């Protein structure tokens, strides 16, 4: 069997192996087209495949893969093994345009606030005769593409290390998914770019970042941000609401857009914590907005996505364990009847204490609550302390989100004539009234300190929890780094 026939046999075997686990694409190269490409190449693909196999089995992985979890590294290597180690990006002129498209996208990662240096795109000349170098370049390109896609979906930062209250459900693509996806794409660079956030607000941040790069060329020429953590890192909305965002601000906020689901839902609620604002969106249009009160810096509102499944009028408040431990128990140690005197019901089973506040005007949840099942026991609700909504900066709660016009919001959420605002208020003063939604309504509690103002211009809000500094530190950015280095 000659070398060409042997190579074609390897290709056909790889195709059969991939069929059981991978999507088949109409525009994948056919054996005939690859055969033509092989004829044009100076090095047989089989020799490159042999070198890829040696690298794969030796464990000499591209450096860009070292930060991946072990399971993802194995998934990557299995992808090549299933193809009999055939290269993805080298092996003839037919692959040149696809390889160039990928390299261009990787080298422009800084446009999205990422660092192109993190995604090496080795260049191999047409005269290269060393199959080992070509094999290494093929693996590096594939690994860079996977890292780019995963980082675009939020893998650059382990959010739980920033704060246990930052718990987005990231959808990180597996290497096999990314590589199969790119193999089936007509325009590889565009397909890889599609892993970046597509939200309009993200695109606005990106456009402004590119403008700053063109006009300043250096992060140090823009408005500085605090690079520390803790209380000194926090700023209020009143302090900076009219301040133009710096490149640092843009990068920090672009990164947080990667924590938001790619699809928010045709209908959803979006709460931007630093903005102290809630928006109900239906089919892309804001149909209801209201002011909010969010968590204090010491009891910050978590960042996550969940869904409202029901509304309760006249809710009881079951005091969270953290509040019992930090607030009630010290006072009850001085006066065992403190909770009862304050209108709470105390139940003790063994060493465990449960405290409930019955429905009423004094209830911490006010007169209505929006059930939002989540790991943080946080939800949207009314409040008896309505005067706080008159303040510009409204970070006062224990973590839940208080809404200014809860009955109006409930009517807009329920969309049922039986539950108009007036009808809902008519339930006040009776027993708890649970109203289930026909369909769960997604809610996104997010944290963006750069928003688009009413004038269409980007402006910076207060970093009430100091998260901008934490994100930039995690990304290893500081004010002294020349932004040209990110190009």
pLDDT tens digits, 106-131: 999 999 999 999 999 998 887 888 99
Question: Nearest 5°: phi and psi at 465?
Answer: -110, 5
Domain ranges of the chain: 3-196, 202-315+364-473, 317-357
- How crowded is the C-beta side of 161, counted as CA atoms within 13 Å? 9
The pLDDT value given to residue 363 = 87
User: Has residue 479 got a pLDDT over 50?
Assistant: no
Beta 277-282 vs 267-272: how paired, if at all?
A: antiparallel
pLDDT for position 482: 42
pLDDT exceeds 70 at position 27: no
Q: Please give the DSSP secondary-structure letter assigned to residue 428.
A: T
Residue labelled with tokens 């080992």? 132
User: Which residues, in sequence order, are bridge partners of residue 349?
Assistant: 352
pLDDT band at 240 (very low <50, low <70, confident <90, very high): low
Given a contact cutoff of 8 angstroms between Cβ atoms, the answer to whether 241 and 455 are in contact is no
What are the pLDDT digits (tens) for 212-235?
988 876 554 444 444 744 444 567
- The percent of residues in the chain predicted with pLDDT above 70, rounded, is 84
The whole-number pLDDT of residue 358 equals 87
143 and 66 Cβ atoms separated by less than 8 Å? no
Taking residues 260-284, what's their average pLDDT?
97
Quick: pLDDT tens for 350-400. Answer: 888 899 888 888 888 999 999 999 999 999 999 999 999 999 999 999 999
Q: What is the pLDDT of residues 400-439, one digit of tens each?
A: 999 999 999 999 999 999 999 999 999 998 789 999 999 9
CATH class of the domain at 202-315+364-473? mainly beta
Residues 6+ apart with CB under 8 A from 114: 148, 151, 152, 156
Asked if the model's pLDDT at residue 197 lies above 50, the reply is yes
For the stretch 296-332, pLDDT in tens is: 999 999 999 999 999 999 999 888 888 898 889 899 8
Q: How confident is the model at residue 26 (pLDDT cuts 50, 70, 90)?
A: very low
Q: What is the pLDDT of residues 56-89, one digit of tens each?
A: 999 888 999 999 999 999 999 999 999 999 999 9
Instruction: Round the CA-based radius of gyration of the chain to a whole number and report it.
Output: 28
Greater pLDDT, 7 or 167: 167
Return the pLDDT at 400.
Answer: 95
Contact 190, 173 (CB under 8 A): no
At residue 454 the predicted structure's pLDDT band, cuts being 50, 70 and 90, is confident
Q: What is the DSSP string of 150-173?
A: HHHTTTTS-HHHH-TTB-----PP
Check residue 219 and give its pLDDT: 52
What is the biggest distance separating any 2 CA atoms in the chain, rounded to whole angstroms? 93
Q: How far apart are CA 49 and CA 81, in angstroms?
A: 10
Higher pLDDT, 280 or 337: 280
Taking CA 2 as the corner, what is the angle to CA 184 and CA 39, rounded to the nearest 5 degrees?
Answer: 50
Indicate the average pLDDT of the chain: 85
């Amino acid at each position: 069997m000659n070398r060409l026939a042997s190579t074609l046999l390897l290709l056909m075997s790889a195709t059969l192996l991939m069929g059981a686990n991978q999507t088949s694409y109409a525009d994948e190269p056919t054996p005939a087209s690859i055969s033509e490409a092989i004829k044009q190449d100076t090095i047989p693909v089989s020799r490159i495949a042999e070198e890829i196999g040696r690298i794969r089995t030796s464990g000499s992985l591209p450096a860009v893969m070292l930060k991946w979890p072990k399971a993802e590294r194995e998934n990557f290597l299995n992808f090549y093994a299933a193809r009999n180690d055939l290269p993805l990006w080298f092996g003839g002129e037919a692959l040149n345009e696809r390889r160039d498209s990928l390299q261009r996208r990787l080298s422009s990662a800084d446009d999205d606030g990422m660092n192109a240096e993190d995604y090496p795109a080795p260049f191999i000349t047409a005269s290269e005769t060393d199959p080992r170098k070509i094999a290494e370049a093929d693996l590096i390109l594939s690994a860079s593409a996977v890292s780019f896609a995963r980082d675009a979906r939020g893998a650059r930062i382990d959010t739980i290390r920033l704060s246990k209250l930052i718990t987005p459900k990231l959808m990180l693509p597996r290497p096999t998914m990314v590589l199969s996806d790119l193999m089936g794409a007509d325009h590889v660079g565009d397909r890889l770019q599609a892993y970046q956030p597509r939200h309009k607000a993200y695109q606005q941040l990106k456009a402004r970042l590119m403008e700053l790069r063109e006009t300043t060329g250096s992060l140090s020429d823009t408005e500085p941000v605090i690079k520390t953590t803790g209380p000194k890192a926090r700023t209020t909305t009143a302090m900076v609401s009219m301040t133009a965002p710096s490149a640092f601000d843009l990068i920090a906020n672009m990164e947080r857009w990667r924590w938001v689901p790619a699809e928010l839902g045709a209908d959803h609620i979006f709460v931007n914590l630093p903005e102290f604002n809630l928006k109900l969106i239906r089919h892309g249009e804001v149909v209801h907005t209201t002011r909010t009160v969010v968590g204090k810096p010491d009891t910050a509102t978590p960042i996550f996505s969940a869904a409202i499944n029901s509304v309760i009028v006249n809710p009881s408040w079951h005091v969270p364990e953290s509040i019992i431990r930090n607030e009630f128990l010290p006072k009850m140690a001085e006066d065992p009847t403190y909770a009862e005197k304050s209108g709470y019901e105390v139940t003790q089973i063994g060493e465990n204490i449960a405290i409930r506040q019955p429905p009423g005007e004094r209830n911490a949840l006010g007169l209505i609550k929006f059930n939002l099942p989540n790991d943080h026991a946080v939800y949207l609700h009314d409040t008896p302390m309505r005067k706080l909504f008159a303040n510009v900066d409204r970070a006062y709660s224990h973590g839940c989100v208080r809404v200014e016009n809860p009955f109006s919001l409930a009517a807009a959420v329920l969309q049922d004539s039986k539950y108009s605002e007036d009808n809902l208020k008519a339930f006040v003063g009776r027993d708890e009234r649970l109203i289930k939604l026909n369909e769960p309504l997604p809610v996104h509690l997010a944290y963006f300190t750069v928003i688009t103002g009413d004038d269409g211009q980007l402006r910076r809000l207060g970093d009430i929890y100091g998260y901008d500094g934490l994100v930039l530190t995690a990304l290893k950015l500081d004010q002294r780094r020349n932004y040209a280095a990110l190009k």
